[in-house]
Amino acid sequence: MVGVFGGRVASAVIGALTLALGSAEANAQNAPINLNVRAAVQSLDVDSAARPLGVVTTAAARTVAVPLPPSPASTAIATQSVAATLPAQALSASLINSVQREASWLYKAGWPLYALVDRYSFGAPLGEQANCIAVAVYHEARGESLEGQLAVARVIMNRAASGKYPPSWCGVVKQPWQFSFVNPRSGQFPAVDTASAAWARAQGITRLAMANAVPSLTSDVLWYHANYVSPSWGRRLSMAQKIGAHIFYR
């Protein structure tokens, strides 16, 4: 306020003095000058109804937004935000591609499988087909290593893509007499402890398997069995790999 009105008061006083001096010179008289400075100042009172021209913004009040590199969580959230405008198939593909790009980069950068599984154990809810893989991993291999769990997930996906089995992941898992945990007559699954660490890991394994982000079994490996049994069909196949308690065949 002082800065604004001080200049105006000074201008008024100087103007009044100039006017008075000019009048004195014009009349060429030595009459005393009656200068009412108080009246000159009061005449410059600001109208209380006047509106300010703007608001002064201090440097402390300004906020600068600094962009950060995307994280899988933020990528997933950003992708889910368009769920209302994208078909379910496109949304699923977008989420898979998001995981695939980042997980592949992290794997090449030296992240071990357990760290990747932990990172992707939580995220966008699994769809129906992906949930079938997660349930199979949970019931078939939750006591196995993460490599063994990933291999089970890959066998299910390999079967669906082979043309020799049902073309969907749920169809493969629910096919009668193929997976011992499934009721062969109803195709129903037993309950899952959704609050358990084993279920979280099964979801992380499923997301990584769908994204094909971590090397695992080749696409021609379609069968496996526990090492404590010896089915006759195993002798007709070529063993691909033994991982934990499971033996995988092509």
Query: What are the tens digits of pLDDT across the range 114-145?
Result: 999 999 999 889 999 999 999 999 999 999 99
- Rounded to two decimals, the pTM is 0.64
Q: Which of 128, 216, 205, 211 is nearest to 168 (CA)?
A: 128
Asked if residue 237 has pLDDT above 60, the reply is yes
Question: Which tops the pLDDT comparison, 10 or 163?
Answer: 163
Looking at residue 44, what is its pLDDT?
44
What is the C-alpha to C-alpha distance for residues 11 and 44, in angstroms, rounded to an integer?
10
Residue 79: its pLDDT value, please? Answer: 36
pLDDT classification of 98: cutoffs 50, 70, 90 = confident
Higher pLDDT, 37 or 166: 166
Note the pLDDT tens digit of each residue in 165-179: 999 999 999 999 999
Percentage of the chain modeled with pLDDT above 90: 55
Q: Please say if the pLDDT value at position 57 is more than 90.
A: no
Q: Give the mean pLDDT of 45-50.
A: 46
Q: Identify any residues that bridge with 241 across adjacent strands, giving them in sequence order.
A: 248
pLDDT for the residue 78: 36
Give the Cα separation of 18 and 192 in Å (integer): 96
The reported pLDDT for the residue numbered 155 is 98
Neighbouring C-alpha atoms within 13 Å toward the C-beta of 243: 20
Q: What's the CA gap between 94 and 76, in Å, rounded?
A: 9
Per-residue pLDDT for 37 more than 90?
A: no
Backbone angles phi, psi at 49, to 5 degrees: -85, -5
CA 43 vs CA 1, 5, 187: distances in Å? 17, 12, 94
Rounded distance between C-alpha atoms, residue 222 and residue 240, angstroms: 10
Q: What is the pLDDT of residue 99?
A: 86
Comparison of pLDDT for 74 and 144, the residue scoring more: 144
**Shortest CA distance to 214 belongs to which of 76, 134, 98, 108?**
108
Higher pLDDT, 224 or 49: 224
Average pLDDT over residues 4-19: 45
Q: Is the pLDDT of residue 86 over 80?
A: no
Q: What is the rounded CA–CA span in Å between residue 103 and residue 97?
A: 10
Q: How many CB atoms lie within 10 A of CB 72?
A: 18
Residues 181-194: tens digit of each pLDDT: 999 888 899 999 99
Between 59 and 222, where is the model more confident?
Answer: 222
pLDDT value at 198 more than 50: yes
Strand pairing partners for 225? 247
Model pLDDT, residue 94: 67
Residue 222: closest CA among 173, 162, 170: 162
Which residue type does 16 have? A
Q: What percent of the chain has pLDDT over 70?
A: 62
